Structure 1
Amino acid sequence: MTTTSAATTSAASTLAGTAAKTATDDTKKATVDYESFLKLLTAQLRNQDPLAPMDATQFMTQLAQLSTVEQSMKSNDTLTKVLDTLKSSGMRMDMAFLGRKVEAATSTLPLSNGKAETAYTVSGTPASVKIEVLNSAGAVVKTSSGALQTGRQTFSWDGKTSGGATAPDGLYTVRITAKDKEGKALDTASVISDTVAEVRTVDGATQFVLKSGATVGADAILSAS
């Protein structure tokens, strides 16, 4: 009988450990541990010493652990379904932007048919504003001075580089550097207007591909018409 009691005690320890581990694992792992829990509990009851049966308090504790595991699994399933529903609903809302003209906060500057335009703002009163256009390699191809005014301003580029050459159509980056009269850097932001041509989901996040080829995230969309 001693051997059987030792086995029972060992099974009880394993049972408790399994329940605690299950409560913090993912749903798939929880399912496996939940089945293991039932098997261990059944084996423990079958092999317990008739002269020294399992303590009622210990048995109730293990049943409570079993209930906790089951509730945890159900909660995980429910949360997963809610999340899937929200994602599906959000995707349907994002699809409504297809074909619509939007304003998006981005430093991307699309050049098409030798024309590019972006709006920008500067926080505070600037004493100097430098606008640089960079190509895909990160090299500056055009440098210009911006308006020394507050509020929304517009920068237009005819595709000509600072050296007078014609830049090919494509996606460029605009970099705006502004300073106040004390030489302190001011925050800037740039915005482009374009039409949404495609809506994608990448790693669970929505991305809008604009007609010009620029790609922006959902949080970059400021307005739509």
Structure 2
Amino acid sequence: MTTPVSSFGTQQATGGSGSAAASQSATSALTSDFETFLNLMTTQAKYQDPLEPMDSSDYTAQLAQFSSVEQQVLTNETLSSMLSALSLGNMSQLTGWVGKEVRAQAAAHFDGSTPVAVAPNPAAVADEVKMVVYDAEENEVGRIDLPVSAEPYQWSGEDGDGNTLPEGSYTFVVESYSNDEVILSEVAEVYGRVEETQNVNGEVALIMESGSAILASAVTALRDPEGTSGNS
């Protein structure tokens, strides 16, 4: 099962897909207006008074408006086709990422034994930092005290009681406190293996081993899987 791009806690995934959806909605509305305008004009011509026909200048003006709307619809359709082709080209280029590990704000896959490297980025002015662990159902399963540092943290897969959690997808939210108040809360970056690339609303999405989907533009680092040569 693949989690949508706008998955738990990942804010960066909503921007591009939202823009694409808005563009599609605008095109649909414009096409609807175009069809309505055409129906109104033909109805007006059909039922005009033969003794007092439409003034030729008014008819010419309406034809000019009709042509303008038609060209705008065709232009939008052409732009949509170009964007789709560009997205497919980008997706083709990023197929080389399949099997690689990318770092982004996303859920991580825990195999039941191998620690997960979490990259926290707490607020510099914080006096206390906690990392909250959530499972795939967004249930809190652990809360860990961290130093006020951006140094990677190796999560061993334990819950708050020291018990090892089962294999699955987990999300890490880093909370920065100042005077016992949360001043920053954001999803920590983790490395995950790319399983597939997809075209989502005109943008390239990466399907991760955890089942989550992230936009390629949200990736902050890329490397070969641990244990292989040529790390980038």
Q: Taking structure 2 as the reference length, what is the TM-score of the superposition?
A: 0.66
The match for 1:200 among 193, 198, 201 is 198
Q: Which residue of 2 aligns with 1:83?
A: 83
Query: Separation in 1 of the partners of 2:212 and 2:69?
Result: 48
**What does residue 15 of structure 2 align with?**
none
1:167 corresponding residue in structure 2? 165
Q: Alpha carbon RMSD of aligned pairs, Å?
A: 3.4
1:30-179 matches, within 5 Å, as 30=34, 34=38, 37=41, 41=45, 43=46, 48-49=50-51, 54-106=54-106, 108-114=107-113, 115-149=115-149, 152-179=150-177
Q: Distance in 2 between matches of 1:141 and 1:186?
A: 22
Cα distance in 1 for partners of 2:53, 2:141 equals 85
Contact 1:34 1:70 in 2 (8 A): no
Q: Please give the per-residue CA displacement for 1:25-72, whole angstroms capped at 9, x wherever unaligned.
A: 54377368548746864x579x834xx565333333233233334333
Match of 2:188 among 183, 187, 190: 190
Deviates more, 1:122-131 or 1:209-218: 209-218
- CA distance, structure 2, for counterparts of residue 184 and residue 56 of structure 1: 72
CA contact (8 A) 2:108 2:192 kept: no
Deviation at 1:118, TM superposition (A): 0.8
TM-score by length of 1: 0.67
Alpha-carbon distance change, 211 to 189 in structure 1, aligned in 2, over 3 angstroms:
closer
SS of residue in 2 equivalent to 1:122: coil
Q: Contact 1:31/1:73 (CA < 8 Å) preserved in 2?
A: no
1:65 maps to amino acid: Q
Distance 1:148 1:168 in 2: 29
Aligned to 1:27: 31
Change (3 A) 1:44 1:63: farther
Structure 1 residue 170: Cα displacement: 1.0
**Aligned in 2, Cα 1:178/1:60: closer, same or farther, shift over 3 Å?**
closer
Contact 1:110-1:214 at 8 Å conserved across structures: no
1:70 counterpart SS class: helix
> Do the aligned residues in 2 keep the contact of 1:27 with 1:76 (CA within 8 Å)?
no
Structure 1 residues without counterparts, runs of 5 or longer:
1-22
Distance 1:24 1:117 in 2: 45
Q: CA deviation at 1:224?
A: 1.9
Deviation at 1:148, TM superposition (A): 2.9
DSSP 3-state at the match of 2:121? strand
> Between Structure 1 and Structure 2, whose CA radius of gyration is higher?
1
Return the letter of the residue paired with 2:50. Answer: Q
Letter in 2 for 1:185: V
Q: Which whole-Å CA distance do the structure 2 matches of 1:121 and 1:75 have between them?
A: 44
- 155 and 35 in structure 1: CA distance in 2 versus 1, 3 angstrom threshold: same
Q: Which has the higher contact order (CA 8 A, sep 6+)?
A: 2
Q: 1:53 to 1:156 in 2, by over 3 A?
A: closer
Q: CA deviation at 1:196?
A: 0.9
1:110 partner letter: H
